[in-house]
A and B are shown apart, each in its own frame.
Chain A
């Protein structure tokens, strides 16, 4: 496999031809039924949520969807989630807890939507609430970054027992362009920033931020089929392991998983 730079991977992760959450849901979730709305304000189409079967196991699936066509991208707000999207996700996760089914999330967003209404409706609170509730949700959670996992807007559906990334996805505290313009005072240093920030699956696995990397095919045309197969295997295998744990152990291990990131002794 050719050696890609971090920026090459950013470009791949953002490629509009790349399979999206909807594509993976269609190809790996049987009997999928989508549910809508946060019950408070509206239905955020940047998040697809629902239930279905993966290899026979009923799961709740939550995926950020950027859209493929121009029209769909507009409808889905380019995958930039509003508070009602995070609240819909949380509502469905609480339902998963009630019915003892695992939660699978697909993360793909340039960030939480920085709009007027988003602030009025408490974007910060919505993200914070998800972090808190996902840390103690009494059912297994597997989160998978499938494209662009940018900032708090990605993290808000990316807390769980196992965090995986597709080989050509990125996960970052902010975009390389943002990082370059703030820390290098020069937005054109985006490539340098991408390298420096450690945002690739490989770097983040080394840093202990993610657990697993899911392989992709070098051939973009067959990537959906290839990744779907990998995803299905990964989810099945991981759920089998997580299902063996008692709820207490599951939650303790989840707490420890985050507790140890950036831990130091006096």
Chain B
């Protein structure tokens, strides 16, 4: 029944019921088309399925907030460095305004959330990138938060887990953004020197300066299925070689085959896989 469907739709965790709107209006925006299998899906069903298409298994991009909810034990997440101020190192026209507008629109502060939390009781420092904020690009705030999080892991002798999603360095910050690659990689080196565990999880898409820094430096590197992972973007490579790229190029399965990731993990198994790895590193 339509009414049941509407009730179901209105009961979603994210959106409050719209009172005094027509049934037809209520349904607008409650449906989503899977861009892989083209099936029309209830958003609610998709969310309940961890934002994975119930029909074809496509892993949709998810917000850091939703990811943390999926991975971190309820009530254990303590967010850190939420309000680092933005910088505008090359005074790029309209950059700070754009950031401000994005914060307003997305209700998130930057392209990464960091904090402490537990995964099935295993305490970790976690960082989760968010593609909703300038495609997860790494500028000075993102680089700083990730570095601070790694330093927290060192201070508290905790494992460090990071979910990566990024288009690469944030061009609007010029060379300062490129330097965040060196900064975060140096922090990963320190973490490594301390004998602490790092797990990086590559999700769709992980490219450019993030692939070429901390994302590739985990002791253990996991990836979600079919995520685009690479250094150069597919279009740039196509222009260079003057031909279309083969199917599946730069996808998780391709990287697994070429020896660059440890394991592909479906979203439904991610929490327990992380917990299993964490427990195997306890002594």
Residues of A whose CB lies within 8 Å of any CB of B are 112-116, 118-125, 127-129, 131-133, 135-136, 151-152, 155-156, 159, 171-174, 179, 182-183, 196-199, 204, 207, 209, 254-255, 258-259, 261-266
Question: Would you give the shortest CB distance from B140 to chain A, in whole angstroms?
Answer: 3
Q: Hey, which chain A residues are within 8 Å of B240, CB to CB? A: 113-115
CB 8 Å contact bits of B247-278 with A (1 = contact, 0 = none) = 00110000000111000000000000000000
Report if A263-B144 is in contact (Cβ < 8 Å); known contacts: A118-B232, A132-B217.
Answer: yes
Report if A179-B171 is in contact (Cβ < 8 Å); known contacts: A122-B258, A128-B214, A196-B90.
Answer: yes
Query: 4 more A-B contacts (CB under 8 A) besides A131-B212, A262-B183, A266-B85?
Result: A152-B181, A174-B171, A198-B90, A258-B179
A123 and B212 contact, CB distance less than 8 A: yes
A136 and B139 contact, CB distance less than 8 A: no
Question: Which residues of B136-178 have CB atoms within 8 Å of chain A's CB atoms?
Answer: 139-141, 143-144, 147, 169, 171-178
Question: Which chain B residue lies CB-closest to A256?
Answer: B186
Question: Which chain A residue lies CB-closest to B209?
Answer: A152
Q: Hey, which chain A residues are within 8 Å of B178, CB to CB? A: 151-152, 155, 172-173
In angstroms, Cα B236 to Cα A113, docked, is 10
In angstroms, Cα B170 to Cα A183, docked, is 11
Set A122, A135, A196, A207: member contacting B182, Cβ < 8 A: A135
Question: Would you give the shortest CB distance from A139 to chain B, in whole angstroms?
Answer: 15
In angstroms, Cα B208 to Cα A120, docked, is 15
Set B89, B173, B179, B213: member contacting A128, Cβ < 8 A: B213
Question: Would you give the shortest CB distance from B166 to chain A, in whole angstroms?
Answer: 11
Q: Hey, which chain A residues are within 8 Å of B140, CB to CB? A: 261-264
Q: Hey, which chain A residues are within 8 Å of B199, CB to CB? A: none
A261 and B87 contact, CB distance less than 8 A: no
In angstroms, Cα B180 to Cα A262, docked, is 8
Report if A259-B183 is in contact (Cβ < 8 Å); known contacts: A128-B217, A198-B174.
Answer: yes
B81 within 8 A of A: yes
In angstroms, Cα B188 to Cα A133, docked, is 10
Report if A264-B237 is in contact (Cβ < 8 Å); known contacts: A128-B213, A131-B213, A155-B182.
Answer: no
Question: Which residues of B226-241 have CB atoms within 8 Å of chain A's CB atoms?
Answer: 229-233, 236-237, 240-241
B230 and A132 contact, CB distance less than 8 A: no
Set B83, B182, B211, B231: member contacting A258, Cβ < 8 A: B182
B216 and A262 contact, CB distance less than 8 A: no
- 14 cross-chain CB contacts under 8 A: A114-B240, A116-B237, A131-B185, A132-B188, A133-B189, A136-B186, A152-B209, A173-B174, A197-B175, A198-B175, A204-B175, A209-B176, A259-B187, A261-B180
B185 and A171 contact, CB distance less than 8 A: no
Set B84, B174, B186, B231: member contacting A123, Cβ < 8 A: B231
Question: Would you give the shortest CB distance from A159 to chain B, in whole angstroms?
Answer: 5
Report if A207-B185 is in contact (Cβ < 8 Å); known contacts: A136-B193, A264-B87.
Answer: no
Q: Hey, which chain B residues are within 8 Å of A132, CB to CB? A: 185-186, 188-189, 192, 217
Q: Hey, which chain A residues are within 8 Å of B85, CB to CB? A: 264-266
Q: Hey, which chain B residues are within 8 Å of A114, CB to CB? A: 231-233, 236-237, 240
B65 within 8 A of A: no
Question: Would you give the shortest CB distance from B137 to chain A, in whole angstroms?
Answer: 11
Q: Hey, which chain B residues are within 8 Å of A263, CB to CB? A: 140, 144
A183 and B174 contact, CB distance less than 8 A: no
Question: Would you give the shortest CB distance from A231 to chain B, in whole angstroms?
Answer: 22
